[in-house]
Amino acid sequence: MRSAFDPTLYLVTDTALSRPRTVPDVVRAAVAGGVTAVQVRDKDASRRELYELTLAVRAVLPPGVALFVNDAVDVALLAGADGVHVGQDDLPPAEVRALIGPDRLLGLSAGSPAEMAAALALPPGTVDVVGIGPVWSTATKPDAGAALGPAGVAALGARARAAGLVSVAIGGIDAGNAAALGAVDGVCVVSAICAAADPAAAARGLRAVVAR
């Protein structure tokens, strides 16, 4: 059975922004502050480094906090992650679903109406969660598409919701702007937690805005 997953406050890790702390240290603090799901992302890491990082993050996660791996399906399988998240340049979602089997979660990025339509056209059960963004432009992911703004996110989120998919917004979200987001089931943050002096406090501040 596919893992349950609470998307309310979804942390995507950034190794560089976490320094001088380790990513597992930031994750541990963030989860104590209220993060409900974690995606390990490190586009600069070798596969071996990513595998070791994923194992280290997994070791600090309490039960009930879902662990995703960005892009690397092989790492997700080996590390026993709950799911994989793929972008538009990663392996295609139907192929990823074939590799991960029926029990793991699959997330897919969608940054435009066309990408959302493609996600919704996949066979039911292929994708579980759609990452909608960027809401606002961000230095964390300079290759991301044009900013959608809260209204653009809400429009895509409503389509995902109507199709029964979980949706999360991503891109430039922090405690000061998260309340502007509607029609999504959760928010993803990177720098708002990884670059925070106190990741636990940052997570608590976000949960105060996005708690449901």
Looking at beta carbons only, is 71 or 115 nearer to a second copy?
71
Phi and psi dihedrals of 203, rounded to 5?
A: -65, -40
Looking at beta carbons only, is 108 or 202 nearer to a second copy?
108
**Using an 8 Å Cβ cutoff, are 1 and 28 in contact?**
no
| Stretch touching a second copy by CB under 8 A, among 1-9, 90-98, 133-141, 159-167 | 90-98
Q: In angstroms, what is the minimal distance from the CB of 90 to a second copy? A: 5
CA pair distance 7, 57, nearest whole angstrom: 18
Q: Scanning residues 37 to 56, which ones bind a second copy (CB under 8 A)?
A: 46-49, 51
Beta bridge partners of 149: none
Note if 28 is an active site residue: no
Q: Scanning residues 132 to 171, which ones bind a second copy (CB under 8 A)?
A: none
Note if 112 is an active site residue: no
Phi and psi dihedrals of 192, rounded to 5?
A: -60, -25
End-to-end CA distance of the chain: 25
Note if 141 is an active site residue: yes
Beta bridge partners of 84: 69, 106
- Count interface residues toward a second copy (CB under 8 A): 21
Structure tokens at 112: 């435009």
Among 2, 56, 92, 118, binds a second copy (CB under 8 A): 92
x/- map, 59-88, a second copy, by CB under 8 A: ------------xxxxx-xx---------x
- CA gyration radius, the chain: 15
Q: In angstroms, what is the minimal distance from the CB of 50 to a second copy? A: 9
Does residue 32 belong to the site contacting a second copy (CB under 8 A)? no
Write the DSSP symbol of residue 48: H
Structure tokens at 56: 């280290």
CA pair distance 20, 209, nearest whole angstrom: 28
- Binding positions are 39-43, 70-71, 90, 109, 138-141, 172, 190-191
The active-site residue out of 58, 141, 159, 207 is 141
Among 32, 56, 99, 120, binds a second copy (CB under 8 A): 99
Distances (CA, A) of 123 to 95, 97, 128, 207: 12, 10, 11, 33
Does residue 89 belong to the site contacting a second copy (CB under 8 A)? yes
Q: List contacts with a second copy (CB under 8 A).
A: 46-49, 51, 71-75, 77-78, 88-92, 95-96, 98-99
Looking at the annotation, which residues are catalytic? Answer: 41, 109, 141
